[in-house]
Structure 1
């Protein structure tokens, strides 16, 4: 039985993850962390009596095999560092890690001799979108990305959008330089990742959606994925939990273990 620790257990994804782990006989939920968890009694949160509850990272004193992180961008780097230092295999579902932070964590994982996975998106449809977009970039170097998420998402653009842009940039030939443009409204063209424009939408009613638009002479290609319910991500979470302890390095992307 693999021992699992969940950081950010009170959030929407954290609650789904708690349910997944508690219902699967292959796992034991040994501890949870959330800043708002002021009551140390696990039964207040409908957890097993043996589950330890923490509200500060500095308090965490527990042995676990896997650290599952669904927190916030401001906390995820320190959390993942801690997990690696404590020899817990991190499964990171929190977006917001910067490229240099990921490199630092990968070096630490190598030093500690432990593997883990950073997952921009647990939705299988999102993983396939990134794969298809990477293939399309060989033929359509001109692309833009629109990502749409719920109003409470705390970072922009999404980790999935950044990962998609990175894959497109790696695969495509250099596009033609864009014509000079005068923006009558500042930043109306969105963010820029190596010439790929990214547009972020944050509105009530949405969960997680992404659209990649490719344009070429006389034709266009649109690839889109939609996640309508957070439960759809649990298949990817289960896949990561099942395989993370077999990894020998810290990898990025669910496709690395598909």
Structure 2
């Protein structure tokens, strides 16, 4: 946020002197809270992010980047009551350049795709801005390259496989349960998706597979397709349902003789990602390197 000047009215004792005070950017815990640029602002999650950022205390929406609705006011695209006077621009570098002139803290939220995310973060870093990345199917090679980039530039970046706090809590509960059960299967449902198993299911399976456990010993064969896909070498199975009308849901079933323990998380709206996003924005400005996973801040 840039400095603003505001003139106070003349004193009532007849004096003509007029004082000018400088309104400083909002400071929280010793850190200036940021101007926010949303890359992918016209997407469903981008529009939700616009509303969340404009309502959040101490941060300001400063730019909207997208290849759709170019030139239109992002506030109107988001059906807000009043325009924000921020046009959608299909040029991240142009937006970064204009914001950098304010010499204020900046955070770029990236909702784009795995193929452009590295260049996007590289551009943000070149302008001294931090990044929050929520891009499905980002490759680990890209994450490693981004980590090296941010380390060299001493710039903060959060790469978040999920921004849903509920999803993170499910993952943490699944890790705790895995030490007490030897049988586990993941069942997920989505109304539509091009990639399955989804990133959430893969993340849970990877977490469980890194604990040195061997699951489903009596049924570890992967030769029967109807039994689901085995992820990793530790026997964690994933079953994906893709049917119109289904809610986005992830369930993890743990069992042993005489007992079934079920963890379930449902997503009904992209609003579920907004508390995690606002937390990520507040935290990333303190970083000087890359952090993988929003759970590091919980």
One fold, TM greater than 0.5? yes
Shift of 1:187: 7.1
d(CA) in 2 for partners of 1:122 and 1:181?
32
Shift of 1:56: 4.5
Larger Rg: 2
CA contact (8 A) 1:147 1:209 kept: yes
Shift of 1:223: 0.9
Shift of 1:77: 3.9
Give deviations 1:13-55, integer Å, cap 9, x for gaps.
1101001112234122121111223336656636522x35322
Q: Which residue of 2 aligns with 1:122?
A: 163
**Which of the pair has the greater relative contact order for Cα pairs under 8 Å at 6+ separation?**
1
SS of residue matched to 2:205? helix
User: Are 1:251 and 2:258 counterparts?
Assistant: no
Q: Which residue of 2 aligns with 1:48?
A: 84
User: Are 1:12 and 2:51 counterparts?
Assistant: no
CA contact (8 A) 2:196 2:240 kept: yes
- Structure 1 pair 166–14 and aligned structure 2 pair: CA distance change class (3 A): same
d(CA) in 2 for partners of 1:189 and 1:250?
34
SS of residue matched to 1:246? coil
Which of 88, 109, 134 pairs up with 1:93? 134
TM-score scaled by length of structure 2: 0.74
Q: Which runs of 5+ in 1 are unaligned?
A: none
**Count of residue pairs the alignment pairs up:** 254
Give deviations 1:62-93, integer Å, cap 9, x for gaps.
33610112233444344334333433211122
Q: Which residue of 2 aligns with 1:192?
A: 231
d(CA) in 2 for partners of 1:125 and 1:43?
28
Q: Which runs of 5+ in 2 are unaligned?
A: 2-33, 101-105
TM-score scaled by length of structure 1: 0.84
CA contact (8 A) 1:134 1:168 kept: yes
- Structure 1 pair 61–83 and aligned structure 2 pair: CA distance change class (3 A): closer
Q: Which residue of 1 aligns with 2:189?
A: 148
SS of residue matched to 1:171? coil
d(CA) in 2 for partners of 1:196 and 1:85?
42
- Structure 1 pair 180–164 and aligned structure 2 pair: CA distance change class (3 A): closer
- Structure 1 pair 181–188 and aligned structure 2 pair: CA distance change class (3 A): closer
- Structure 1 pair 112–214 and aligned structure 2 pair: CA distance change class (3 A): same
- Structure 1 pair 128–179 and aligned structure 2 pair: CA distance change class (3 A): closer
SS of residue matched to 1:10? coil
CA RMSD of aligned residues (A): 2.7
Give deviations 1:173-209, integer Å, cap 9, x for gaps.
23437454543xx576235233322233333334532
